[in-house]
Amino acid sequence: MENSIFFNFYALFIVALGIIGLGLYAILSYRNLIKIFIGIEVMSKGIGLLFIAAGSANGRLALAQSYLITYIVIEAVVATVALSLIMLTYRHYGTLDIRKLSKLKG
């Protein structure tokens, strides 16, 4: 698809970058494990958008969609492991504050 008023790769690229930036900001600035995890999820949404935008811009949308679906599956697997780790952390430390997770250092 050519760039048009309805579809512009560069605009979508900027939006995707913005979303990734927001996710990164959440990871770096929040102290709560769940919020950090949400940051990771937000970041991966930005990547998904970028894949679809790239696919429709260069006319290989089917390939891009298959990439995206695989990406979503992986993301779900990571989310499962991440949430179970967060749960275990809460069980051991009794808190979700990342600053308390500092027993390992040196």
Give me the residues that bind another protein (CB under 8 A), please.
9, 20, 23-24, 27, 33, 36, 40, 43-44, 47, 50-51, 53-55, 57-60, 64, 67, 70-71, 74, 77-78, 81-82, 85-86, 88-89, 92-93, 101, 103-104, 106
Phi, psi dihedrals of residue 48, rounded to the nearest 5°:
-60, -45
CA dist 8 and 58 (Å) reads: 12
Nearer to another protein, 6 or 105 (CB): 105
Nearer to another protein, 15 or 86 (CB): 86
* Nearest-approach distance from CB 13 to another protein, in angstroms: 8
The dihedral sign for the CA sequence 77, 81, 87, 90: negative
Residue 97's DSSP bridge partners are: 32
